[in-house]
């Protein structure tokens, strides 16, 4: 049996541990991947990071990152050994908190050097460049695949559901239906993100090569989100159509997450946040202000440097100040719909499980 050769716990441990290490490595390089006039989520003059104060802050940050991440990893490993695979989510959270503390301390050191960003804003009146990679045909692919799986289950339910003593009892089908709902909710959330990336992101530059770089970055992020959609669907299809293969075949797909995350991070890191690391082929547009551009958001709207909350800003998606990709403007109701959908997906199996007991309680 394959089960005896490979322990599923090892696969899960290696994957999640790999993701945790990847996280710490990303935090190590992050200060150099953000826009030139943003340093630890604070708007600074463009040359600040190469000045002695900037370099000193970076050195101290990296030292603290090693110490905190190391401690977190020990706690993570100890937790997995003591409490089993169920501890991995908590372990990942501990890893995140450790990296965040290092970031927050560095941010506090940068704040005295903060420079007010330019208040000049630009907008292009033509050509909004709303691109979803592959168009709506590619975006609807995961839903079609999932619908095909649901159709197959509907028709061949009895063959898939072995039940007790070879007689179908509906339990397998019920579990698969819950899983189907869970995946559909996840896909809906991801599709909303994909739509939001093409419609609700505020560009930092309205023209010039910086705009082209920004668009390239946004297209790459959209392609990654689309890739995640396909991965989620393929994994769900596998689980639904080959349920009798057991845990291992399902868990065997897990390391793919690590590979996928690694490829996505390398792709985005090469571009830099907002395409800021792409070398300019043509003349960069002349600066319209002596003040740093940053991401054209005042520092005061960034809570703890990671949460953006600005009621006067209609944008739902904003470039992360410390990270690769986009964050939400939590002052917009749409942002909370995103969060609700994301949180709803893991809640569906719990609700379905509870609904089994409700009839017994006479509800």
Residues that bind another protein (CB under 8 A): 119-125, 128, 199-203, 206-207, 288, 296-297, 310-316
Q: How far is the CB of 161 from another protein (least distance, A)?
A: 47
Pairwise CA distance, residues 47 & 221, whole Å: 28
Q: How far is the CB of 313 from another protein (least distance, A)?
A: 5
Nearer to another protein, 218 or 296 (CB): 296
Pairwise CA distance, residues 197 & 224, whole Å: 12
Closest CA to 107 of 325, 321, 330: 321
CA angle 26, 30, 299 (to 5 degrees): 135
Q: How far is the CB of 311 from another protein (least distance, A)?
A: 7
Q: How far is the CB of 199 from another protein (least distance, A)?
A: 8
Nearer to another protein, 139 or 316 (CB): 316
Contact 162, 250 (CB under 8 A): no
Host H or E run for residue 214 = helix 208-241
Q: How far is the CB of 194 from another protein (least distance, A)?
A: 16
Angle between helices 171-199 and 333-357 in degrees, nearest 10: 180
Closest CA to 198 of 138, 143, 128: 128
Q: How far is the CB of 217 from another protein (least distance, A)?
A: 17
Query: How many angstroms separate the Cα of 103 from the Cα of each of 19, 72, 234?
Result: 19, 15, 36
Nearer to another protein, 120 or 256 (CB): 120
Contact 217, 133 (CB under 8 A): no
Closest CA to 218 of 284, 315, 142, 310: 315
Nearer to another protein, 119 or 363 (CB): 119
Neighbours of 52 (CB within 10 A): 7
Nearer to another protein, 51 or 124 (CB): 124
Nearer to another protein, 58 or 194 (CB): 194
């Amino acid at each position: 049996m394959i089960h005896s050769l490979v322990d599923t716990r090892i696969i899960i441990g290696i994957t999640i541990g790999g993701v945790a290490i990847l996280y710490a490595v990303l935090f190590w390089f992050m200060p150099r991947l953000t826009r030139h006039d943003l340093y630890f989520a604070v708007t600074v003059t463009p040359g600040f990071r190469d000045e002695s104060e900037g370099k000193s802050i970076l050195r101290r940050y990296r030292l603290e990152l090693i110490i905190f991440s190391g401690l977190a990893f020990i706690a993570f490993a100890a937790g997995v050994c003591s409490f089993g695979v169920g501890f991995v989510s908590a372990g990942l959270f501990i890893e995140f908190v450790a990296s965040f503390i290092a970031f927050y301390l560095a941010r506090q050191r940068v704040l005295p050097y903060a420079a007010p960003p330019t208040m000049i804003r630009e907008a292009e009146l033509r050509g909004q460049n709303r691109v979803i990679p592959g168009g709506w045909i590619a975006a609807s692919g995961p839903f079609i695949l999932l619908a095909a799986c649901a159709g197959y289950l509907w028709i061949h339910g009895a063959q898939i559901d072995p039940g007790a003593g070879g007689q179908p009892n509906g339990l397998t089908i019920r579990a698969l239906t819950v899983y189907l709902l869970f995946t559909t909710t996840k896909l809906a959330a991801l599709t909303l993100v994909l739509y939001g990336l093409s419609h609700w992101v505020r560009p930092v530059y309205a023209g010039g090569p910086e705009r082209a770089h920004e668009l390239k970055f946004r297209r790459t992020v959209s392609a990654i989100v689309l890739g995640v959609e396909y991965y989620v669907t393929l994994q769900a299809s596998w689980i639904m159509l080959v349920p009798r293969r057991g845990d291992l075949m399902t868990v065997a797909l897990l390391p793919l997450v690590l590979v996928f995350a690694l490829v996505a991070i390398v792709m985005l890191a090469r571009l830099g946040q907002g395409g800021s690391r792409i070398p300019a082929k043509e003349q960069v547009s002349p600066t319209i202000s002596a003040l740093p551009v940053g991401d054209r958001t005042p520092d005061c709207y960034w809570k703890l440097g990671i949460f953006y909350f600005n009621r006067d800003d209609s944008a739902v998606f904003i470039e992360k100040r410390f990270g690769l990709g986009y964050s939400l403007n939590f002052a917009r109701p749409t942002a909370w719909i995103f969060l609700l959908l994301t949180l709803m997906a893991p809640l569906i199996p719990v609700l379905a499980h509870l609904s089994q007991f409700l009839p017994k309680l006479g509800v």
